[in-house]
Structure 1
């Protein structure tokens, strides 16, 4: 006990307490500077940050998104209750929306497609030649006859009838893509919402979906998120004050959390990072860690005062001296678990990892230094802030924990934990990687956005798109009949998947042109018999067209083309099935003059994200567990310690994964950081309980007595922290963002499992197995401590 390291720690603590005024001044000065920086941090979502770096799918998407359509596409559907869309009221609204979209900030004007745009054309043949002209541009139909002509042109055009006018003709679609890197999601959301609101009425329903709308909604709810955050903090204050009955027991843990948050956000600004509103719940999780360490110190301080400490400085010194090792171990282990998230090559996760690591490491100062320094100024006599006393209830709970752990019931605790671990572990295999339900998991199923997505997918082929590039080996490769036939067969193969509503490619365009040349005879709706004939059909389609009209099907050199697939949802299983089918087709049907390249569009980049997360999840958990094992092994100089402390982590993980599988919460880019953080959070409380047992055994060799004393002391801090944080975090269920509500529940589950393991399971296992690194052995017995520690004047 009285080794060189311990004495060095004593000297450091004594120095800090002697210079406590200087310490507070320095911490305050740094906090002011960091606070200024934190006040200027941007809160926004950048979609490119969600995409894995250097993944081949993302590279294909970035290379071809300007022509074949990227992942920031917005779909607007106009639906009529009576009649069909071939009505002047509806057509005028389509034209107004199309023109208004051109003024939306960040929109790619060459990627706006609707009945009223120049992109949708019809090809007509006459004695004077081939004519390609827009269906309804620049003017609206002038009379009933013109509307009838428009209807017939749409019905005879497979590129329009189905993709942009529904089969029942009661809905029409308008799509617009945005330029990546320049789009401001909140501005785009507000501008498009204004356009959609203006178009509603006159029996016309307007529905809007797309990633810019989704992430714009996230920013729209930012004010609500901030309100819930402050309500949560306020409830935390009330609960801490209710339980501790003292101002120092309430304000010091909150001060710790605030200082850590300010330092972390200031550091994020220095690193050039922004704060994504979707991860604000993760911020609360780290703040919970800071509060937990501070509560432990305050609780131990009150015990030292109750045991007759000569002064509050001596009590603060003893508290930090005895809790420094478990507190430091908790901080280092948590920081290491968060840092391994950076191994997942997704920019947002890397930024969360770096910010989270700095945030947790700042707890070394905010909790392990600032809290005992401030405690040293408190008074010995305890003054209660209110008359309500629930301490007897807490003490009864802790006595119940001790009686269960030190009685034969401990066998039941261990057996129950084993059964729960096995069953939850088996059920956890049902956890899905990627989105687990149709629609967006960020919003509630009955949200306007998700109901709009359902309606659009019901009327059309699908609002989510993926393009597979057909790359030729030389210019003109796409004119080759075997390449076009391969594209056509590939489309039919992919459309056999139920979630794929349809597809479109150059192989759909050329047969339509050939049919027109044969006076509309459907017998001639087929591909050309030679490359020259297909080249002529391509020329006829683009003759008289604007530059770029052919781009969504093929480039001008006929070197690269796209097969665009329309999906009714982007669930993880749907995407994995589609990617697997594409790969199977490519392997079984090689083409002579071209090759397939995966994959672009929203579904393509989500496939890349899911693949990285599937590998990253296993890797992150494995490395996080390795970090935990190494930290525990080094701290306690025993491999058994590393294995022992994995028990609550594995239990909390299996139970949480089971809950996620049960509630349909997928493992995606938004939930992965919480999982990594949970590995550290799942064992923090146990560090304090186990170290309390070890400390007590330095005074006597009675293991049951040591367990009871540790539960009564360190367990009080665990119980206070768990009760306050679990109760307050449940308030996140009020959020309009389902993701935040789900993450709040996950945090509450993790806290509950962690606290329960620390109070019941781990002490029971200590009693049953008597690990040598805790209770000692004949060869390495626990040293007896001195009867009294020297006090600080």
Structure 2
């Protein structure tokens, strides 16, 4: 078990290192090695004293056994901070939200915690950086050497200074651990050891790690996400290079490959400039949105460039006439498409979630910037650049792609093709409508959908959940009307009943409130007899019990339980997962309990829902459900109105919305099948997808109308539209699908999987909601240590 001198020493040191991580709230750390984790000790004369479980590192086996006894006899520790099988300990840290830096937190946890105590462990404690003296490097001085370890066998002594590993200098314990973990277990390295004025080489065989460290929590999750920034850069680079190659193959001209990029760059400059002006930070989890908008800008430019080549040939290679004709004919579909895209995203502003509102404003402006580049700048650029060679333009109609489009179009417009197409899509619609019933709001699995299920983060999260039953908090605030409301026995018993009631839910692991402190104190008063673990009958006895436990603790420590006036406290439940269905059920159970007349606490206090990760997700999910129908209606209605005013036809909008409606059903069905839930990031991306879908239809519809004016034959007009505008539409669709498919190569992160069906990412959660009343906003980080 963990109750050995070596393991407990490391738990103590790990707790110290976690306390030194930037942004950690030093008074809101839960660990048996932290000063705020206390137990009650009976003293002579009938007095009780609250003391830290580990006031210092144990020195002997008797010290370790005493800590084990304390843990087993303390209800608020055993099973919560130490697993019931004594093989794991938990270190939980709250972060001050305004100081939360995901990249820095991720790096410091790796350097200070994981490297020195897992893969970089050599069987000796090395003195670390002194937090009181800043972050200056301190020599790697041996503090403790444990028996029968690699350090002992290498002859290391207390006071030795390790200055190098295989000749490479190390300045402190962080660099030492980083260097040691580069070597596989069983490898022998030479440590440069300085004892006094003498320096010697000590051969050390790298040991197998005897502890496994698992780190989870929202700050850690976002640290993993930020660690993939380089992967995202390379994927974007490969994507754009691949699309340039595809455009060159399509146009047979480097101008055709590069000119559409100009539209995307101009729109990106405008979009990023607007982001900077309003002070909105681009979260890596929403980078796919600018990527898709930029790709959409390039798609509009491809349509224009393809039409420019066509008009250039039609006007006997007259560049000026070709430019005027191309931009005049495509002005309506381009402008209508951009406006529908922008307004379709802007309806997201109806959701009262700040991140979504900011995203809606930024992306809408970004999309509108396409009009400046495509309709105002590009005609000028086309005029001043050299006209394409006639041979290049003619080559477009001789390639295999053009032949394929002609063949597919002829079959599709035949009697058999029409019937087959209608039956095929009707069948898909029926199947999709059946499957989409499985679509849920929120996350459909217990693992984080931001990364793969077998990623290091989800593996760590699963281990912690397995050992401790639940680590995802739901905080219900108990708010009193007057001072000392939390000392009223009626209020406290209602809080206790609330705990027992919700703990019956299969997905609630355990809970904690002030009542747990009261019951523990009373048990210690009566020789740890469980029958005395009750709440006192009067406010005076409650106040005395609180005084015994909290005396000597500063307000910064007691703030995580209750505010100084005892007006506000909380009941915290730890859920096993954050599945959307489970969150909805748990929140409904909370509402049912609060609504019962017997739980009104005589009007002295009320329960307020809800904080913590579960509470924040519940609020977001409720808003999505409440606004989903309205946003879908406004999105489709906006498209219909724009099409109506653009083409002055009541039926044009219906023709274009029908395939869009079917595709929406199929996307929802695919999300249900692939277990992709509706959340704060799928919503804007699905909405953008609706707008992108209508763009394709607008170009084909405009070309049909244009051809009817010439030949007055509907069938012939449809065919001409499909083999011209339809060819460009299919090519841009291939580029879009191929570009998003490359995101599946993203190492460990599951964003790419969701980008394909449909392009989207998952909730950009910050800190895990609120801390206990009286404390700042906080994000939680958990850590499991388990011997092999």
Shorter-chain TM-score category?
Answer: 0.7 to 0.9
Asked whether the equivalents of residues 398 and 716 of structure 1 are also in contact (C-alpha less than 8 Å), the reply is no
The normalised TM-score by structure 1 is 0.81
SS, match of residue 301 in structure 1 = helix
Residue of structure 1 in register with 2:685 after alignment: 674
Listed one character per residue, the Cα deviations across residues 131-160 of structure 1 (whole Å, up to 9, x for unaligned) are: 333343431223222222211111111100
1:594 Cα shift?
Answer: 2.1
Asked whether the equivalents of residues 470 and 575 of structure 2 are also in contact (C-alpha less than 8 Å), the reply is yes
Asked whether the equivalents of residues 676 and 754 of structure 2 are also in contact (C-alpha less than 8 Å), the reply is no
1:408 Cα shift?
Answer: 4.5
Correspondent of 1:132 among 46, 49, 58: 49
Tell me, yes or no, if structure 1 residue 317 matches structure 2 residue 327: no
Residue of structure 2 in register with 1:245 after alignment: 252
Tell me, yes or no, if structure 1 residue 205 matches structure 2 residue 212: yes
Q: 1:352 to 1:526 in 2, by over 3 A?
A: same
Residue of structure 2 in register with 1:94 after alignment: 11
Correspondent of 1:591 among 601, 608, 616: 601
Correspondent of 2:311 among 267, 281, 304: 304
1:457 Cα shift?
Answer: 0.4
Correspondent of 1:603 among 594, 608, 614: 614
What value does the CA root-mean-square deviation take over the aligned residues?
Answer: 2.1
Distance in 2 separating the partners of 1:101 and 1:390: 66
Asked whether the equivalents of residues 465 and 566 of structure 1 are also in contact (C-alpha less than 8 Å), the reply is yes
Listed one character per residue, the Cα deviations across residues 37-74 of structure 1 (whole Å, up to 9, x for unaligned) are: xxxxxxxxxxxxxxxxxxxxxxxxxxxxxxxxxxxxxx
1:516 Cα shift?
Answer: 0.9
1:657 Cα shift?
Answer: 1.1
Residue of structure 1 in register with 2:163 after alignment: none
Distance in 2 separating the partners of 1:600 and 1:129: 39
Asked whether the equivalents of residues 451 and 751 of structure 2 are also in contact (C-alpha less than 8 Å), the reply is no
Residue of structure 2 in register with 1:630 after alignment: 641
Distance in 1 separating the partners of 2:444 and 2:402: 40
Pick which of 372-381 and 603-612 moved more: 372-381
1:658 Cα shift?
Answer: 1.0
Tell me, yes or no, if structure 1 residue 405 matches structure 2 residue 413: yes
Residue of structure 2 in register with 1:194 after alignment: 111
1:417 Cα shift?
Answer: 2.1
Asked whether the equivalents of residues 319 and 387 of structure 2 are also in contact (C-alpha less than 8 Å), the reply is yes
Residue of structure 2 in register with 1:121 after alignment: 38
Asked whether the equivalents of residues 108 and 179 of structure 1 are also in contact (C-alpha less than 8 Å), the reply is yes
Listed one character per residue, the Cα deviations across residues 12-36 of structure 1 (whole Å, up to 9, x for unaligned) are: xxxxxxxxxxxxxxxxxxxxxxxxx
Q: 1:388 to 1:373 in 2, by over 3 A?
A: closer
Listed one character per residue, the Cα deviations across residues 202-240 of structure 1 (whole Å, up to 9, x for unaligned) are: 511111111111112211111111111111001111111
Distance in 1 separating the partners of 2:449 and 2:406: 39
Residue of structure 2 in register with 1:507 after alignment: 515
Distance in 1 separating the partners of 2:719 and 2:252: 24
Residue of structure 2 in register with 1:425 after alignment: 433
Tell me, yes or no, if structure 1 residue 663 matches structure 2 residue 580: no
Residue of structure 1 in register with 2:582 after alignment: 574
1:522 Cα shift?
Answer: 2.3
Distance in 1 separating the partners of 2:565 and 2:759: 58
Pick which of 199-208 and 657-666 moved more: 199-208
Q: 1:298 to 1:471 in 2, by over 3 A?
A: same
Correspondent of 1:436 among 430, 444, 452: 444
Distance in 1 separating the partners of 2:696 and 2:248: 21
Residue of structure 1 in register with 2:502 after alignment: 494
1:690 Cα shift?
Answer: 0.9
Pick which of 614-623 and 199-208 moved more: 614-623
Pick which of 369-378 and 439-448 moved more: 369-378
SS, match of residue 94 in structure 2 = strand
Pick which of 343-352 and 260-269 moved more: 343-352
Q: 1:463 to 1:389 in 2, by over 3 A?
A: farther
Asked whether the equivalents of residues 443 and 736 of structure 1 are also in contact (C-alpha less than 8 Å), the reply is no
Q: 1:380 to 1:249 in 2, by over 3 A?
A: closer
SS, match of residue 458 in structure 2 = helix
1:405 Cα shift?
Answer: 2.4
Distance in 2 separating the partners of 1:639 and 1:248: 40
Residues 697-708 of structure 1 aligned to structure 2 (within 5 Å):
697-708=708-719
Residues 167-178 of structure 1 aligned to structure 2 (within 5 Å):
167-178=84-95
Distance in 2 separating the partners of 1:109 and 1:748: 40
Residues 377-388 of structure 1 aligned to structure 2 (within 5 Å):
377-379=385-387, 381-384=389-392
Distance in 2 separating the partners of 1:688 and 1:387: 23
Distance in 2 separating the partners of 1:449 and 1:594: 40
SS, match of residue 344 in structure 2 = helix
Correspondent of 2:355 among 348, 358, 374: 348
1:449 Cα shift?
Answer: 0.5
Q: 1:121 to 1:386 in 2, by over 3 A?
A: farther
Distance in 2 separating the partners of 1:104 and 1:279: 27
Tell me, yes or no, if structure 1 residue 695 matches structure 2 residue 706: yes
Tell me, yes or no, if structure 1 residue 257 matches structure 2 residue 174: no
1:519 Cα shift?
Answer: 2.1
1:661 Cα shift?
Answer: 0.8
1:608 Cα shift?
Answer: 1.4
1:119 Cα shift?
Answer: 1.5
Structure 2 runs not aligned, ≥5 long: 122-208, 761-788
Distance in 2 separating the partners of 1:255 and 1:737: 33
Q: 1:371 to 1:395 in 2, by over 3 A?
A: farther
Pick which of 415-424 and 375-384 moved more: 375-384
Asked whether the equivalents of residues 725 and 748 of structure 1 are also in contact (C-alpha less than 8 Å), the reply is no
Distance in 2 separating the partners of 1:520 and 1:308: 97
- Select the structure that is richer in strand: 2
Pick which of 183-192 and 390-399 moved more: 390-399
1:384 Cα shift?
Answer: 4.4
Tell me, yes or no, if structure 1 residue 329 matches structure 2 residue 340: no
Correspondent of 1:146 among 63, 71, 74: 63
Residues 481-560 of structure 1 aligned to structure 2 (within 5 Å):
481-560=489-568
1:390 Cα shift?
Answer: 7.4
Asked whether the equivalents of residues 478 and 558 of structure 1 are also in contact (C-alpha less than 8 Å), the reply is yes
Q: 1:461 to 1:546 in 2, by over 3 A?
A: farther
Residue of structure 1 in register with 2:189 after alignment: none
Asked whether the equivalents of residues 726 and 748 of structure 1 are also in contact (C-alpha less than 8 Å), the reply is no
Residue of structure 2 in register with 1:457 after alignment: 465
Distance in 2 separating the partners of 1:224 and 1:710: 40
Distance in 2 separating the partners of 1:520 and 1:272: 57
Distance in 2 separating the partners of 1:515 and 1:386: 92
Residues 33-48 of structure 1 aligned to structure 2 (within 5 Å):
none
Distance in 1 separating the partners of 2:454 and 2:390: 52
Residue of structure 2 in register with 1:645 after alignment: 656
Correspondent of 2:276 among 269, 278, 290: 269
Listed one character per residue, the Cα deviations across residues 734-787 of structure 1 (whole Å, up to 9, x for unaligned) are: 0125443034313579xxxxxxxxxxxxxxxxxxxxxxxxxxxxxxxxxxxxxx
SS, match of residue 162 in structure 1 = coil
Residue of structure 2 in register with 1:784 after alignment: none
Listed one character per residue, the Cα deviations across residues 362-417 of structure 1 (whole Å, up to 9, x for unaligned) are: 11122223333333344353354999997233333234224322535323323332
Q: 1:443 to 1:390 in 2, by over 3 A?
A: farther
The normalised TM-score by structure 2 is 0.81
SS, match of residue 757 in structure 2 = helix
Distance in 2 separating the partners of 1:186 and 1:617: 34
Residues 26-105 of structure 1 aligned to structure 2 (within 5 Å):
84-105=1-22
Correspondent of 1:108 among 12, 21, 25: 25
